[in-house]
Amino acid sequence: MVLLGISLLWASTWRPGMRHIYSARNIDKWWGVYSSRKGDLMRWAYLSFVKELNVDDNDHKTIRNARAGDTGTSNTVLYMIGDSYSYAIADTAFSGLCGYNYYNRYFDNYCHPDPKKKNILVIEVSERFIRDFFSDYRLYDHLKDSTIKEVSVIRLQQSICYAGLLPQFSMDSLFNKNINQNLEFNLFNYQFMSPVFELKAALNYYLFQRTLNAGVVISKDKKYLFFGPTLSSSFNTSSYFPLQSGEGRNIVNHLNGIYDHYKEMGFAEVYVSIIPNPCTIIQPAGYNNLIPDLQQDSALRMKTLDVYSRFKNTQADVYKHADTHWNMTGKQLWINMINEMIASNNHGSSE
């Protein structure tokens, strides 16, 4: 039993091992991962039986190219560095371009803008990461100039440590706080166990109006599931966590530095596109006003794509009801904004 426990701990803290385990168990079998088509929050909360959460999220709709007839100068190349909101969007969603390049900001990427083209960089980032991600210049490490041989490492904070017993053992890695979800995954997250969790989830929901998972919170109108850290007063990822003195200006200063850096690298324009937390739009009472405060700061030189105002002023649902991401309506609104921006740049360059 001791050896079994040690093996389980090692497998749950070894990043390559967890990738292999997840890949092998991501299958519709009794021993596979419990999943829900409604989203990750539904999967964590086991609330698929709640009618208010099982609504049409427009996932069956296809993306429309809103400006298909606008080719502009056909000399514009769009570079996008983003997260899970934008990574699955195909280049066919955008018009007026002669090239499109996408980079996942969780990895180190390299590019070199063609000086003969009009190169536009869009930095897409979800609101919950803003305060951490722009507290320094770590973005420099995630999108580098491929023509520069020696690149200095700008990261000011260490990345998440994934624990492991080998080859470098330490007490910090053994008791890494990030392993809990992996242990739960390996011990309990199996399809054959889902009825047990669904029963417990039903008791929690109907008796206490809460979920099994502390990371999932039911909205006040009972129609949405929110990611816990976007609501908790203990995390700066929260839409209600107050900005500390000088924090907003610090973020603006870093955005300006990033703007200057990529302008010098060869981009004609650099935009930041902040995707609001779902609770920011759906449950705005007490919002800390982070996005509008940053976007309206007179010292900010980087251009913005104001997703916050577009979402706030629409009457349609723009987020999935049981996931951290937007639905097809929200995605289409954002794509429209990108295409409007491209068209504006194309028309401006042709004048």
Assess if residue 179 is contained within a domain: no
Structure confidence at residue 157 (pLDDT) = 39
Q: What is the pLDDT along the chain (351 residues), one digit of tens a residue?
A: 777 777 777 777 777 777 777 777 777 777 777 777 778 899 888 898 898 888 888 877 878 765 544 554 579 999 999 999 999 899 999 999 999 999 998 888 999 999 999 999 999 999 999 999 999 999 999 999 998 865 554 443 333 334 444 445 555 555 555 567 777 777 777 778 888 888 888 989 988 889 988 899 999 999 999 999 999 988 999 999 999 999 999 999 999 999 999 999 999 999 999 999 999 999 999 999 999 999 999 999 999 999 999 999 999 999 999 999 999 999 999 999 999 999 999 987 543
pLDDT for 123 equals 98
Asked, for residue 196, whether it belongs to a domain, the answer is no
Which distant-in-sequence residues (6+ apart) come within 8 Å of 244 by Cβ?
none
Assess if residue 92 is contained within a domain. yes
Q: How many domains does the chain have?
A: 1
* Cβ neighbours, 10 Å, residue 245: 8
Q: How high is the pLDDT of residue 86?
A: 95
pLDDT of residue 173: 52
Q: Are the C-beta atoms of residues 190 and 182 closer than 8 Å to each other?
A: no
Q: Angle 211-214-215 (CA atoms, 0-180°, nearest 5)?
A: 105
In a domain, 301, yes or no: yes
Residue 275 in any domain: the answer is yes
Nearest to 222 by CA among 276, 281, 283: 283
Q: What is the pLDDT of residue 192?
A: 80
d(CA 208, CA 144): 50
Task: Tell whether 12 is covered by a domain.
Answer: no
Q: What is the pLDDT of residue 201?
A: 87
Q: Tell me if 274 is assigned to some domain.
A: yes
Which amino acid, one-letter code, is at 166?
A: L
Instruction: Provide the pLDDT for residue 170.
Output: 55
Whole domain around residue 263: which residue ranges?
Answer: 76-159+245-316+331-350
Using the structure block, give the residue that is written with the tokens 């913005």: 304
Domain annotation covers residue 145: yes
Return d(Cα 281, Cα 287) in angstroms, integer.
9
